[in-house]
Structure formats: C-alpha cells, structure tokens
Amino acid sequence: MVLLPASIFSVLLWLLQPVPATGNPCCSFPCQNNGVCLTTGPSTYICDCSNLEFYGDYCQHPTLMKRVKSWLRPSSDTLHYLLVEPRLKWLWDLVNYVRPLHDFFMGTIYVMRADIIDSPPLYHSSHEYPNLETVFNLTVYSRILPPVPRECPTPMGVKGPKELPDIDLLIKKFFTRKKFLPDPIGSNVLFTFFAQHFTHMFFKTDFKGGPDAQWGGHGVDVSNIYGGDKETENRLRLFSGGKLKMQIMNGEEYPMTVAETGVKMTYPEYVKEEYQLAVGHPFFGLLPGLLVYSTIWMREHNRVCDILAAAHPEWDDERLFQTARLVILGETIKIVIEEYVQHLSNYNFKLTYSPELLFDRRFQYQNRISAEFNHLYHWHPLMPNTFNISGQEYAMHDFMFHPEVVFKHGLANVVDSMSRQRAGQMSHHNHGPSTINVLRWTLQHQRQLRLQSLNNYRKRFNLSPYTSFEELTGEKTMAGELEKLYEDVDAVEFYVGLLVEKRSYRAMFGNSIIEIGGPCSVKGLMANFINSPRYWRPSTFGGDVGFDLVKTATLEKLFCRNIKGKCPLVTFRVPDYDEQEDVETWDGRLGHEDL
C-alpha cells in the first residue's frame, strides 16, 4: 500500500468534494467542524478555521490538544448510558452526596453545554453570513446554522431530490396517530402543560411577519405570567400591595375576566364572558391546563407579595411588585432545572440550580432564541387524544377553549387528574388529529426558513452524522419508505429527522433532541441576568426571606401552598409508572410495521 504525503492527500480530498454544477460552491457544505465556507469566486471557496481547534483545507485536522480532549471524552451515547443506567445509580448517589464532587460535575455541565451555543449568534434567516442585523435585530429568531443558499441545486444543498416530499404525504405516512403511544418514561399531562406554559414565554412567533419573526424577549422573562408588554402588565396589576388582580369563583382565587381588565386574549365567541379570563399570554385560554399554570403562578405572586410586605412594611406597591416578580423568575428557573429538566434527562445525577458555580468561569450572560430551538420544541405528540378529569372523559374538542372545566372540577382535582394521566410519546406516528395543522405549519415553516438537514445539525453539535436511513430510524420498513422520498440520508429535513429518529436508551426521544436541545436549554436558563454575580444575592430578592423562597422552590410547594385544603398529587411522572416497563419498551422498540 502506497502512503500519500499529507499535502497530496489534501489536494485529492479537495478534488473529490462535490461542487454544484451551478450556483454557490458552498452548497456542498464542504467545511467541517464548524469551519465557515467563504466563496472566492463563482466556483471556488475557502474554509475559515480561525479560532477553532481544527485546521486544514476543510478544518478537518484536529490540533493535538483537541485529539487529547476527544480521546478523554466519551461519546454522547456512552455518556447518556452512564447517566441513566439503573445499575450505576449507586455511583451517582455517591456523587450527589459528596457536594464538592457534585458541584464540579454540575459546573462542568453548565459550561460544556452552554459553550456549544454561539454567543452572540452568527446568523439569522435573511442572510447566509454574519452581519450586524443578526446581533441587533431582536424582532427575529437567530440561527444556529445559516440557511441553505437559495441558488443550490437541491433544497438541502446538493443532496436529495430537487423537490422535497409532499408535506401531506409525509404527515399521512409517518406522523398521523393510528393508536396512542404513551410516553416511555412515564411523563404525564401535568408535565405536558408545564412544557407548553413555560416555553411560550420565549417562543413567540409573529406569524404576520413570517416564521423567522418573533415578539418575545429572547429568554426566561416570566412574560407568560405578567404579559408581553407594559400595557398588559398594568391591566393585570392591582396596584396595591404589589399584587395582581384576582377574583373569587367557587371559593377559589382565579384571574379576572377580559371584560374587567381589557387584556387582549384569544377566545372564540362561544366562550361565556365569565369564563374568558385574562392572563399573561393571549392564547393561554386555549386549554384548561394552561389556565391552571397561569392561575397558580398568579396566586404565588400574591403570596410572595404578602411575605415581602411583612418583611418590608416600608416598601410601596411598585417595589413589592417588581421584587416579587424577581422571586417568581428565580422560582421558575429552579423548578425548570431541578424538576422539569431533571425529568427530561432521566439522569441519575441530580441537577441543581447553582448560579455561583459559574462565577469563576468565563460565561456570557446573554441569550438569543434560535429558529431551530423553536422548531425542535414542537412536542405536540405529548398531547393525548382525551383528557380524564376526575373520572370524566373529555375529547380534545370538548377540552380546547373550555376553561369552565377547571371551575367545574376545581383546581386541585384538575391538577391531581393531570398528574395521573400518561402523556404521549414524542415520536413518529403519534400526532393526534388536533395537532396535525400545527405539524403542517412546522414543516412548511422549516422549508421557508431553509433549515439545513438533520445530519448537518448533528455535525454542528459534535454528533456523528447518520450514514443510512436504517441507522437513523433503528428499523427497516420506515427507513425504506424515507429513502424512496429523500434518496440520501443527508437530505432528511431537520424536524422530520427528529421525529423519526430512534429513541435513546431510557429517554423520552432520540439522541438529536437531547444533544441539540440540551445546550440551548442550559444556555437560555443560566444566561439569565439574575444568575450573574451582581444579581445573585439576597438584596435582589428582598433579603434572605425572598432568597430562601427561590432556593427552596419546588413544583409541589408551588401548588400546595396555593391550593386550599388537601394538596393534590403533584408530579411530572404518573404514579403507576414501572421502571422496568421502559427497559422492555426500549429493548423491543416499536417499529413502523407494528403501528
């Protein structure tokens, strides 16, 4: 065997790179390891490897230090297995118990995850290259990868068909629910609505402006509770004692009505005026589960105001309101990290909300919401076909825009029922009829945004690209059908790939959602301003009394301290979940032919 010198090998590699017959030579995405492709003429380009741990014509060669790091670091699949394997729980129990060891791991997770996200962002949907608008135009989502150039031979660059598969065909073949598939790790409906209520404070697409336009604040700002603008906030406020307006209905506190506040909400005409309640997000009257969370957070705000007023009788309404809002923000992040993300990860390692672990590390306290993160978070398969509230079954059309369900059964009974009902699995063949239109819009929007292929995003997040459709799906039948439509696994669309991807061991979904969504989540949560050294101290939250509320917040306390009488079951996992059931489901994973 003749060994070629490195320089000759590089030239041969360059010659073998696929270059489109016409259009942009960067359509083949030749640059590796986050190198930037820069055209130098109609058919030539260079790969900019500056500030990377790689060099070479295509940024293909790792530096010595990078080789050492790669050798020491386990693959994402291996690391995931080590973190979720039940037989290793004893090891993570030890790590969780030894505080210095735990803090080392927790700080490392914060930094390693957040460092994957470009801050400030490099791209947005209107340009395929860095520009000033990317940083300063906050009315659009940022982009993790630039859009596929318009002049490319195929929608995915140079791979796949010249026209992408018909969307309705994709929906019928791969995504429509034939029978309800339950979430494999026991997630419940209370979890489903928490995800929706929480994420819609920063996923706020302005559909009138297009799928890249947004009207939110690019972060965790609790605007889902207080409103997205000052006018809404003022209409929700009581302007006394720092509190929000509430009314008594059936002996319980609920938000005031739209008629009484003038808050703009999205209710159909058939909803009675007394049930059209005013909350922080205009469409949170859509489902009773969203109303439950809005109500409980508004009650919590007023409870916090009472505690702060007792500690600071000298404070006026404005200071009580603003400080209570900071406490609510801190409580939200703590519950999200320590319970919501903990449940999502299914790790044996205990995640903690500890901003001080970043104080001696290089970290940027700023965040932008990306279009890809928004698309990745379309988790509508979690929704069941029907809702069982206190033994009464509600079809989706009897649940949507029917807030009276909450008043009929009472908040405690609704929470208890949602905690006991299994959510759906986030996968293919599991979109219910009520969410098909949302799925259709998502697929249309990703094409309008010209999102790159799933494999390109996997490479961006340091994951190995799939080499075959069977490797992507973990089975043969659906893999064959996808191959007929997409021709090349490198042409599989981002959201399509996320849904058809095989599920990871003891996880809610596939490896790509975990490894792409995780860094976006960690960056978005820990980059919040209240986690910075000058904010993260007692005086920000009204002293030790407010700081302790943040540090001790839990989902159960949130509900139990704001519901009179016996506390309902409050959990993100159904009580009858059997851990062995998940292992058996994963080992005998459902394939397309079983559906």
Nearest to 337 by CA among 578, 582, 109, 547: 109
Q: Cα(225)–Cα(280) distance, rounded to whole angstroms?
A: 4
Q: Cα(567)–Cα(131) distance, rounded to whole angstroms?
A: 53
pLDDT at 122: 94
Cβ atoms of 119 and 364 closer than 8 Å: yes
Amino acid at position 220, single letter? V
Cβ atoms of 41 and 29 closer than 8 Å: no
Using alpha carbons only, give the angle 203, 528, 209 rounded to the nearest 5 degrees.
Answer: 25
Q: Cα(485)–Cα(169) distance, rounded to whole angstroms?
A: 10
Nearest to 403 by CA among 572, 302, 270: 270
pLDDT at 236: 98
pLDDT at 427: 95
Nearest to 449 by CA among 136, 123, 189: 123
Q: If the chain, 595 residues long, is cut into consecutive pieces of 10 residues, what is the mean pLDDT of each piece? A: 39 42 84 96 95 96 94 91 95 96 95 93 92 93 96 96 97 96 96 96 93 94 96 98 96 96 94 95 93 98 98 98 98 98 97 96 92 96 96 94 94 97 96 94 97 98 96 97 98 98 96 96 96 97 98 98 95 88 56 45
Q: Cα(389)–Cα(415) distance, rounded to whole angstroms?
A: 9
Q: Cα(15)–Cα(11) distance, rounded to whole angstroms?
A: 6
Instruction: Give one word for 85, left, alpha or beta, with left for phi > 0 and alpha for psi -120 to 50.
Output: beta
Residue 86 token pair: 């039940």
18 beta partners = none
Read off the DSSP letter of residue 10.
H
Q: Cα(520)–Cα(518) distance, rounded to whole angstroms?
A: 5
Q: Cα(339)–Cα(554) distance, rounded to whole angstroms?
A: 8
Q: What is the DSSP annotation of 232-260?
A: HHHHHB-SSTTPBPEEEETTEEEEPBHHH
Cβ atoms of 103 and 354 closer than 8 Å: yes
pLDDT at 577: 85
pLDDT at 3: 39
Nearest to 428 by CA among 579, 589, 189, 578: 589
Nearest to 326 by CA among 401, 240, 220: 220
Q: How far apart are the first and last CA of the chain?
A: 50
pLDDT at 580: 67
pLDDT at 586: 56
**Tally of CB atoms within 10 A around 348:** 20
Residue 506 token pair: 């003891």
pLDDT at 19: 44
Cβ atoms of 452 and 148 closer than 8 Å: yes
pLDDT at 576: 87
**Predicted TM-score (pTM) above 0.85:** yes
Told to judge if 141 belongs to the known catalytic residues of this protein, a careful annotator would answer: no
pLDDT at 15: 39
Residue 220 token pair: 């965790």
Told to judge if 200 belongs to the known catalytic residues of this protein, a careful annotator would answer: yes
Q: Cα(373)–Cα(52) distance, rounded to whole angstroms?
A: 24
Nearest to 525 by CA among 354, 408, 269: 354
Read off the DSSP letter of residue 216.
S
Active-site position among 58, 267, 353, 377: 377
Using DSSP's 3-state secondary structure scheme, residue 569 falls into coil
Q: Cα(427)–Cα(498) distance, rounded to whole angstroms?
A: 8
